[in-house]
Copies of this chain bind each other. A is one copy, B any other.
Amino acid sequence: MPSYSIAEIAGIVGGEVVGDGSIEIRGVAGIKEAVTGEITFLANPKYESYLVSTNASAVITAGGNGSFSGVIISIDNPYLAFLKVVRLFAESPIEKYSREVHPTAIIADSVKLGKEISIGAYVVLEENVSIGDRTTILPLACVNEGVKIGSDCLIYPHVTIREKCEVGNMVIIHSGAVIGSDGFGYARDGEEHHKIPQIGIVKIEENVEIGANTTIDRATMGVTLIGRGSKLDNLVQIAHNVVIGENSVVAAQVGVSGSTELGKNVVLAGQAGLVGHIKIGDGARVGAQGGVTKSIPAGTSVSGYPAREHSFARKICAATARLPDLLKEFRNLQNRLDALEKGKGSGPSAEDD
């Protein structure tokens, strides 16, 4: 493990040292777990009370030092600064996994392997697969016929990448993810469902990350596309012919139905579901468990089922909470009106409760 002085670290992240910059830092950790010689960070004011008790030697923060006895690196965006520090100490795949091909890997003769690759035990690379430079494929992954994987990728154990799919550079795919399974398409004939062969592919652009056990179906024809820089969490379902724009974020257990298109910088929160054949504009956001039944303009936030503009959805939500009381008050109002109409109402009646 390398070590850096606090002053060196402040220089790297562009922050200001408050205290002794000469102290050596040998690692990073959470504010609760850090020990002497380690650096941590405080971005969420909620955790400020931990400053008293942490054993970290240095803290990266935007605020003051509170009652912290160690050294502060002061900076506007402590989260991003901390990220840079974590990377100083984190091993890259290229250091962590030895650059070799395990003798049990099965590699078809027609496979093209880049330089400095790492292929784990019991990996299967079928005919005409190509693997870019410095890419790491961990044990028991299966890469089917004709798949192209770029450089600097990291493919975890038990990943399946089905035939002819394309994976760009610097892509990470977590364990159990399935890329290119058949789209769910049938032609109905009476009561029977006839499978429509799914002859398209999945294309994953550069810098994408795909979570564990996530499934991305190949297109019926053409391409299911995951745009550059987008991040998908675990157990996400992406149906055939979906297009996800650049730098979008899809949280765990989200489902996107067939042929739906997401723009850039879209955020889908956990367990949201989108029907097929709609368009989600750039920068739109869907709340957790939201059920999206029609297209959403760019920049809009929606939530609820069926998903509606977020501030309206919140009003509806607040209103439904008053509904049981409203029903009682309504009956009361009806009684008062009945009395008035009968000509005997002269004052407010008691609330019925």
| Chain A interfacial positions (CB closer than 8 Å to B) | 28-30, 32-33, 46, 77, 79-80, 82-83, 86-87, 90, 104, 106, 120-122, 124, 138-140, 142, 144, 156-158, 160, 162, 172, 174-176, 178, 181-182, 184, 186-189, 191-197, 199-200, 209, 211-213, 215, 217, 219-222, 229, 231, 233-235, 237, 239, 246-247, 249, 251-253, 255, 257, 264-265, 270-271, 273, 275, 277, 288-289, 291, 293, 304-306, 308, 312, 315-324, 326-327, 329-330, 333-334, 336-338, 340-343, 345-348
Contacts and interface: CB of A to CB of B under 8 A. Distances in A.
A95 to B, nearest CB: 12
A341 B330 contact: no
A326 B316 contact: no
A86 B194 CA distance: 12
A189 B337 CA distance: 58
A195 B83 CA distance: 8
Nearest to A237: B252
Given A28-B221, A138-B144, A239-B252, 9 more contacts: A142-B158, A176-B178, A184-B233, A184-B234, A215-B252, A273-B289, A289-B289, A289-B305, A336-B337
Copies of this protein, total:
3
Q: Which of A32, A121, A189 has the most CB of B within 10 A?
A: A121
Contact of A174 (B142, B178, B193, B196): B178
